Amino acid sequence: MSDRFRLTLAQLNPTLGDIAGNAAKAREAWNTAKAERADMLALPEMFLSGYQTQDLVWRPAFQADLREALEALAQDCAEGPTIGIGVPLLEGGALFNCWAVLSGGKVTASIRKHHLPNSSVFDEKRLFASGEIFGPYRVGPIRIGSPICEDAWLDDVAEAQAESGAEMLLVPNGSPYARARYDTRMTHMVARVVETGLPLVYLNLVGGQDDQVFDGASFVLNPGGKLALQLPAHEEAIATLDFTQTAEGWRAQLGTRAHLPDAWEQDYRAMVVGLRDYLRKSGFTKVVLGLSGGIDSALVAVLAADAIGPQNVHCVMLPSEYTSPHSLEDASDLAQRIGCKLDEISIEAPRAAIEAALAPLFTGLEPDVTEENIQSRLRGTLLMALSNKTGALLLTTGNKSELAVGYATIYGDMNGGYNPIKDLYKTRVFETCRWRNANYRDWMAGPDGEVIPPRIIDKPPSAELRADQRDDDSLPPYPELDAILEGLMEHDLSVADLVARGHDRATVKRVEHLIFISEWKRHQAAPGPRLTMRALWLDRRYPLVNRWRDTR
């Protein structure tokens, strides 16, 4: 028997529901593997369907299409490398998250995921049945165990496979990006290697799907936890790697070891990839957004330019009597720096018309936030009209701090189909702008250099909905606000915990109250790329109506 095993890893970007397109990507990768004389091609978890399917996977017609596509793929790729590919399959009346092994024109094995994640963005216990632990399967000279994603985060599946004769662990994954997630994955995989004494292949999806961005960053470990191969983060890659039989067992030969960037760059790229793929997979080629001259819309405009090119970004300034001259100047400066189209539409005439229409009903009532919200909703209406007319997707620009406390106008500045900075607190918005001005990468479609005018970064934030307005008139200063929000929302700290950290109790209670009463707004907010483990959607599920408050 041969003492060499050649494996091709395909870290690719499927499109959810595009079964034919995903199968075609698998065939193309198989052709590459065949040309490389590989023994096996490996594709990630749920690749054929795309991930995450949510309730789409329950549709019988969807299940039937997947089965037909899988069998056709097996037949088309009968002469050449074995294929391992992730796919949901209905078997014996139950639906499983499977990794199918295709060889000789047939599905020769169907490994069923045993541990079903049911926290954070995952709801797999609702969707799938748990499979029994599956033993190793043979491909050429080697016996392979394949714990599927979560199965490798616990020790029992890999341990059982090693005890039943596995000589290598090949772990297909659909693991979405979150800040510092790579280190967590590596820690768990090193533990499996140490426990079993086997080499391990960690193969992850890449690309955006709704709010989740799969970051790839696949790797191969030899016993002892030594890194043999590292694929890049946030981009497609195909790599072929040899394993050789030694006196101590199978070992991976050294392959490419891509550099993984720091958290600031990975966050930025996740936002770019998330936006780019949301547009591409939804059929949009252009975007439109309101450019206020403030920092949030500036960052969104640059992210859009980096995702799809500045020629596809349409910015619109919508001034009122409260818009300062420097905001107009800053918006124009930004548009020129990134090279996107900028138009201006005054909202004064439509605002006067709406206020005149409402005047008989508002008689005797003092002006308040109502009049401010009219301005925001007018802007939202005009931008949605442009989106409808031109077919460009409207981007909304609220940061996580604003969305957390409801400092955003529903049906106004919250209008839009996607929000690239939804999971960035305001303090990180400032630092991200500074990072982008100082850094340029070849995957950015926008221009190099200082693309965000320094004055936009340095000036005090303001919604400019009334005279001399500043955000800190209504909210605590952002460094303080974000520290409180991170405690309450990311770590579930109590009010007493935050007071013990030096925060004013009344301020903490006010922020807590704002978070709870704004839940209804967030339920209607546009999706955006998940950067943390507590993003504002599936990671944090709270009731809209809730009377409880922390009194400790």
Domain ranges in the chain are 4-260, 264-464
Architecture in CATH for domain 4-260: 4-Layer Sandwich (3.60)
pLDDT recorded at residue 323: 82
- Other beta carbons less than 10 A from residue 520's beta carbon: 12
Q: Mean pLDDT, to the nearest integer, of 199-221?
A: 98
State residue 1's pLDDT score: 60
Q: CA 277, 241, 13: angle at the middle one, nearest 5?
A: 10
In which band, very low, low, confident or very high, does the pLDDT at 520 lie, cut at 50, 70 and 90?
very high
The pLDDT of 347-358, averaged and rounded, is 95
CATH number of 264-464: 3.40.50.620
pLDDT at residue 354 greater than cutoff 80? yes
What average pLDDT does the segment 122-144 reach?
A: 95
The DSSP bridge partners found for residue 144 are: 137, 168
Q: Which of 149, 315, 340, 433 is catalytic?
A: 149
CB 400 within 8 A of CB 478: no
Residue bearing tokens 């088309």: 76
The residue whose two tokens read 């020629």 is 311
- The pLDDT value recorded for residue 461 is 80
Q: Of 503, 515, 519, 523, whose CA–CA distance to 549 is shortest? A: 515
- Known catalytic residue at 149: yes
Give the pLDDT of residue 469.
Answer: 78
Each residue's pLDDT tens digit, 420-478: 999 999 999 999 999 999 999 999 999 999 999 999 999 888 776 777 777 777 889 99
Q: What pLDDT does 124 receive? A: 95
Q: pLDDT digits over 233-246, tens only?
A: 999 999 999 999 99
State mean pLDDT over 273-291.
Answer: 98
Is the pLDDT at 271 greater than 80? The verdict is yes
Q: Which residues, in sequence order, are CB contacts of 184 under 8 Å at separation 6+?
A: none
Residue 389 falls in the annotated catalytic set = no
What would the pLDDT profile of 320-337 be if each residue is shown by its tens digit? 888 888 989 999 999 999
Catalytic residue among 45, 150, 372, 480: 45
Assign 14 a pLDDT band (cuts: 50, 70, 90): very high
Query: How many angstroms separate the first and last alpha carbons of the chain?
Result: 68
pTM of the complete model: 0.96
Please tell me what DSSP assigns to residue 395: B
* pLDDT of amino acid 56: 96
Share of the chain above pLDDT 90, in %: 93
Q: Which of 113, 400, 426, 521 is labelled catalytic? A: 113
- Is 113 an annotated catalytic residue? yes
